[in-house]
């Protein structure tokens, strides 16, 4: 694999840049980006907690993404659930308020308890949105569907080329979904994800038992997708999750982890060749200093839910807490710099070996935001 191209930008940008990212990024995504919604699992419906105003329906009209809003009183038709997993689809979609029912494509069929007919109404169907199914998962496209599709197709082509054997979601089941509020801003959180240098010391009792960061490789796609490979450590087999892995009869992993960062900030994590975690982060619309991460955990079909729960308890929960402490301190210092009139002064630097792709990601973000960076 050819060595990645190094950017000349080693500083981490300015505090106001981090704030601008939090305040403006999601609007850009709505315009010409894409949003992961979940699995294309037959006979299911889902209102993902990160986009509850969308309903992913896989039924007798194929894959549909509808506005999840009853035409009567604007209540959700598909109620989001605490476990955030797809729900069985039995018969028509139905709003629980007055039992108005809809086809799987969002067409109003009956007005339920209300003494009127759909034919009496001017609007008879929920708006639908263009989507893209890829390898068993579904993405919703932004309003500029042509541009959004072009950007997404370039990303998916690169993923197919480099990671096709790992990213077949049709052979995997979504067993667990997790919501992680963060006391840190979104860009700091994403840059921490791209930093593989901190694994050995920052996650000494968790990820570092599995990941050999001395066997580190990275690659960048034409679209800007970043892939980071890390080797596997045999010591992980001595952990509770590692022993459970061996009981499953799976082979020795080729890699400890493969971390993928899409240009829009969506993260895909492949652990021990078996687990695939799809994650998205969203800034708090009322406070740029906070964000929320949403994680969907996929495993080979037939994997016990207990394995997924142990994966979360042994790896995700502790590493999330280990990451949140330094990230929250960084955000606090960025906010303090803005208050002190230093919001446009560059801060920090990147380590050039195992944060090698962070400058590239920063450049891509700045270009999309039309935000000037200081070299």
| 337-356: pLDDT as tens digits | 999 999 999 999 998 888 88
As a whole-number percent, the residues of the chain with pLDDT over 90 amount to 92
Considering the domain architecture, whether residues 82 and 168 belong to the same structural domain is answered as: no
- State the residue range of the domain holding 177: 15-33+145-369
Q: Which residue has the tokens 């139905």?
A: 94
Q: What pLDDT, on the 0 to 100 scale, is given for residue 366?
A: 94
Please say if the pLDDT value at position 3 is more than 80: no
Rounded CA separation 51/70 (Å): 16
Task: Report the C-alpha dihedral over residues 117, 118, 121, 122, rounded to 10 degrees.
Answer: -160
Considering the domain architecture, whether residues 122 and 189 belong to the same structural domain is answered as: no
| Per-residue pLDDT tens over the stretch 274-290 | 999 999 999 999 999 99
Please say if the pLDDT value at position 10 is more than 80: no
Considering the domain architecture, whether residues 193 and 77 belong to the same structural domain is answered as: no
CATH code, domain carrying 72: 2.102.10.10
Of 234 and 372, more confident = 234
Considering the domain architecture, whether residues 63 and 181 belong to the same structural domain is answered as: no
Rounded CA separation 300/356 (Å): 32
Domain assignment present for 374: no
Rounded CA separation 125/107 (Å): 4
Considering the domain architecture, whether residues 172 and 223 belong to the same structural domain is answered as: yes
Please say if the pLDDT value at position 186 is more than 60: yes
Q: What pLDDT, on the 0 to 100 scale, is given for residue 375?
A: 57
| pLDDT confidence tier of residue 5, bands split at 50, 70 and 90 | very low
Q: Which of 369, 349, 344 is nearest to 359 (CA)?
A: 349
What ranges in the chain are assigned the alpha helix state H? 15-32, 145-163, 186-194, 199-202, 240-247, 305-311, 317-339, 358-369
CATH code, domain carrying 24: 3.90.380.10
Long-range contacts from 1-7, C-beta under 8 angstroms, 24+ separation: 1/217, 1/219, 4/218, 4/219, 4/220, 4/356, 4/357, 4/360, 5/220, 5/360, 6/352, 6/356, 6/359, 7/359, 7/360, 7/363
Domain assignment present for 230: yes
Q: Which of 60, 68, 128 is nearest to 90 (CA)?
A: 60
Domain assignment present for 8: no
Stated pTM of the model: 0.95
Considering the domain architecture, whether residues 21 and 46 belong to the same structural domain is answered as: no
Average pLDDT over residues 163-189: 96
The total domain count for the chain is: 2
Rounded CA separation 65/67 (Å): 7
Considering the domain architecture, whether residues 64 and 180 belong to the same structural domain is answered as: no
Considering the domain architecture, whether residues 82 and 172 belong to the same structural domain is answered as: no
Which among 119, 141, 163 is the end of a domain?
Answer: 141
Which among 141, 164, 186 is the end of a domain?
Answer: 141
């Amino acid at each position: 694999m050819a060595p990645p191209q190094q950017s000349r930008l080693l500083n981490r940008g300015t505090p106001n840049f981090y704030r601008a990212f939090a305040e403006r990024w999601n609007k850009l995504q709505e315009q010409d980006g894409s949003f992961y919604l979940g699995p294309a699992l037959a006979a299911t419906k889902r209102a993902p907690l990160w986009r509850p105003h969308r309903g992913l329906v896989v039924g007798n009209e194929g894959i549909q993404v509808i506005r999840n809003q009853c035409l009567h009183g604007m209540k959700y038709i598909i109620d989001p659930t605490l476990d955030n997993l797809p729900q069985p689809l039995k018969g028509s979609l139905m709003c629980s308020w007055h039992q108005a029912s809809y086809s799987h494509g969002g067409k109003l069929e009956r007005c339920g308890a209300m003494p009127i007919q759909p034919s009496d109404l001017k609007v008879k169907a929920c708006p639908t949105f263009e989507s893209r199914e890829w390898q068993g998962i579904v993405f919703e496209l932004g309003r500029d569907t042509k541009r959004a599709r072009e950007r997404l197709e370039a990303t998916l082509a690169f993923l197919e080329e480099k990671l096709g054997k790992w990213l077949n979601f049709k052979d995997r089941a979504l067993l667990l979904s997790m919501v992680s509020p963060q006391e840190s801003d979104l860009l700091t959180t994403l840059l921490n994800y791209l930093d593989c240098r901190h694994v050995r010391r920052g996650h000494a009792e968790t990820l570092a038992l599995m990941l050999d960061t001395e066997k580190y490789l990275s690659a960048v796609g034409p679209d800007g997708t970043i892939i980071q490979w890390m080797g596997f450590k045999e010591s992980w087999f001595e952990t509770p999750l590692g022993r459970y892995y061996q009981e499953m009869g799976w082979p020795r992993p080729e890699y400890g982890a493969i971390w993928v960062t899409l240009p829009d900030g969506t993260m895909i994590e492949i652990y021990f060749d078996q687990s695939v975690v799809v994650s998205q982060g969203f800034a708090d619309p009322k406070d740029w200093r906070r964000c929320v991460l949403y994680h969907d955990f996929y495993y080979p079909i037939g994997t016990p839910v207990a394995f997924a729960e142990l994966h979360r308890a042994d790896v995700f929960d502790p590493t999330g807490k280990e990451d949140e402490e330094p990230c929250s301190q960084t955000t606090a210092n960025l906010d303090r710099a803005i208050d002190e009139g230093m919001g446009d002064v560059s801060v920090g630097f990147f380590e050039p070996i195992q944060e090698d792709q962070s400058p590239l990601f920063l450049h891509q973000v700045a270009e999309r935001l039309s935000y000037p960076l200081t070299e």
